[in-house]
Every structure is written in C-alpha cells, then in structure tokens.
Amino acid sequence: MLPDKLLRKLGMRHFSGSMRELKAHENLIDFASNDYLGFAKMPVEHAPDSKNGATGSRLLSGHSKGFEQLEERIATFHKAENALIFNSGYDANLGLISSVAVRGDLILYDELVHASIRDGIQLSMARSLKYRHNDMEHLKILLEKFGDGIEQEVYVITESVFSMDGDQAPLHQLVRLTLDIENAHLIVDEAHALGVIGEHGEGLVHHLGLENEVFARVVTYGKAMGCHGAAVLGSFDLTQYLINFCRPFIYTTALPPHALALINTGYGRLENGHENIEKLQDVIHKFNRLVVQSGLRLRFRESETAIQVCIIPGNQKVKDTATQLQRKGYDVRAILSPTVPEGQERLRLCLHSYNNLEDCEQVLQIIAKSLKNK
C-alpha cells in the first residue's frame, strides 16, 4: 500500500487538475516532439558485429575505441577542447554541476533553468541564488554583492534556448559579466540549440563565437539529433576531473554501441548538409508570421526557435484547448502548473522541418477559435 501522506499528495494533484499521466498519441501530426529535424524517423545502419550492451561502466568494461572516436568528433564539431559522453542530458547536468561546484562555492542560475540543473545544484552543496530570467542587471548585482570570496568559485548557469519559453539567453552579456570576475565560470545548456542554431546546428555558443569564453557546455541528443545521450564540452582538465569525481558518470553503465552509432550518424547528417536546418528555420519564420495574422501575438511568447509557447492561464482551460487540437489530428501538449508557475500554463508547440504551412495555419485557427469561445 502507498503511504497515506503520498496518497494525499496524489489526491491534491487530482483536485488541482494537474495530474500527470502517460498517454500514447498515435497517428497525429507532430507539434509536440523535440525531433526538430526529423532525424528520429530516419533509418540508421548498425554494425552487424557490434554488441547489444556496453557490459559495464566506462571505467570498467564499457569503454571502447568507439567512445574515443565519437568524443573526438563531437569536440571538433563544436570547437571544444574535449567532450565527454553521458547517458542523458539529465545525467550530464546532474553530474557536471554536482561535481564541480563544491561546499563554499556559489552558483547563480537563471530562474527558468531545467529541472536537471536545479537537481544538480541541490546535490552540489554549494550556495545558490537565482537571478530573474535573462535579467543581466539583477545578475550583475548578485555578482558584485556575493561574487568575491577567498577560495570561492562562482558558477553562472543558463540555457542557451529555454525549454519552456523558446527564448534565448543573452550570451554576450553573460560572458562579459563572468569575465569581469576572476573566479567566475559560465555553464551553458545547449539542449534545444543543437541542430537548430548555427549553419550546421552547432548551437548558440558556437554561432556567436564564444567557445573559448564558456567553462562548460552541455549538448544533448534526445532533441534535434533524434536519439539519446549527451556530452559535456570543456577543457581537457574538466574532462579528467569528471572522469574521476562525477558520480553519475562513474557509476552508470555506458551507452550501448548502437546508441553511439545513432549519435555518430546524427553528427554526420549535420556536417554534410544543412537542408533540414534551413527548412526548420523557414517553418519558424512562417509560423511567427501566421501568429500575427491570426491575432494571437499577445498570447504567444516571442521566439525565433523551434519552441513556440501560447499562454492559456488555468490547467483546465489549457487542457481543453490541447484536447481540441488532438481531436482534430494535431499532437499539441498542454504544460500545466506546477511544471510552470500558476497562471503561466501554456501550449508548447514544437516546430519541425517537416511541418507544412497548412498544418501551422490549422493549428493556429483551432487555438484562436478555442480562446474566442472561452
């Protein structure tokens, strides 16, 4: 039996209309997945003699030449000194932050960073303070007030493209602020920028030419790359430190060979052509134009990325609109509180290189009609 206090928590979720459930949505037009470039749908050839499993952690039996070659390719693609592969973006953020930030250090993080970053901060034992979303004046105040300290390292953490809003971090300003303090280090989660921003989808840091000014980048492969896994990009010394002190890396069975093959194939597609990226950017541009034409500009957050957000306050109201879209054949999901703050409930639409103009128009018309009837 589940303990009574846990049953009460479930009951409160039911009562608030925020109960999370697993639902299979099949045969719907995709406006929900993170498969921005359609790579997840493309065939991949696997080496017929490869093992099905890694057989152990990388410090035991799970390491291979395949890891070394892929990490070298990743580092070269992103213009980083080194890359270290993790099993997921969650593992990478959790492991990186909890390892490098130790007791006595300070973490300053954007208030809208992903849950994996927050959990890494909590495990780190460092002191932490959040700054208002993309508010560089607030961050500057915190740096000036708390940034100096004997033997204190300061870690500033942001996403390059925010997963729930689709907007971008002001990375040039963040770099300038961290460079002004000798012991400050910038960490950037590029999960939703990889494959989307840059000529070949290298990410926002690379696109802005800031590779050498960022302490660590996290790139994840469950979004535009259409597979699984992640990598931490940084210096050789950072990689060596993580291999020795990062518990989620040390004590986890390594990714299997077929997962490495998928990541390798994804990078090959990015390196050898940018047709899908151009298609995605065209869809984003046209979708933003349609938002204005449909009279929904005030409902949508401004975004030049694949993540488009329509604010519909109230769990039930946003769920009702999502249900209407799904009944019409469109896979659009509602994001409820407490995942987002109460009053900021939203439809989160993910655009893809394979979405067409007609479907974009239909989705926006259904949303506009639903809101008009409320």
Whether 51 is a known active-site residue: answer no
Which residue among the candidates 93, 98, 124, 163 is catalytic per the annotation? 163
Whether 116 is a known active-site residue: answer no
Per-position DSSP letters for 354-371, written without gaps between them:
T--HHHHHHHHHHHHHHH
- Edge-to-edge strand order for the sheet containing 307-311? 307-311, 346-350, 333-335
247 contacts 253 by C-beta, under 8 angstroms: no
- The CA distance from 307 to 34, in Å, is 9
Whether 114 is a known active-site residue: answer yes
Which residue among the candidates 91, 159, 202, 345 is catalytic per the annotation? 159
Dihedral of alpha carbons 60, 65, 69, 72, sign: positive
Whether 192 is a known active-site residue: answer yes
Q: Report the 10 Å Cβ neighbour count for 51.
A: 11
Which residue among the candidates 30, 167, 189, 331 is catalytic per the annotation? 189
Which residue among the candidates 130, 185, 206, 223 is catalytic per the annotation? 223
- Alpha carbon 10 to its chain's center: 28
Whether 228 is a known active-site residue: answer no
Which residue among the candidates 192, 206, 319, 352 is catalytic per the annotation? 192
Closest among 337, 315, 314, 327 to 369, alpha carbons compared: 327
Whether 159 is a known active-site residue: answer yes
- The CA distance from 241 to 236, in Å, is 9
* Residues paired with 347 in a beta bridge: 310, 334
Which residue among the candidates 71, 99, 105, 114 is catalytic per the annotation? 114
Catalytic residues: 34, 114, 159, 163, 189, 192, 223
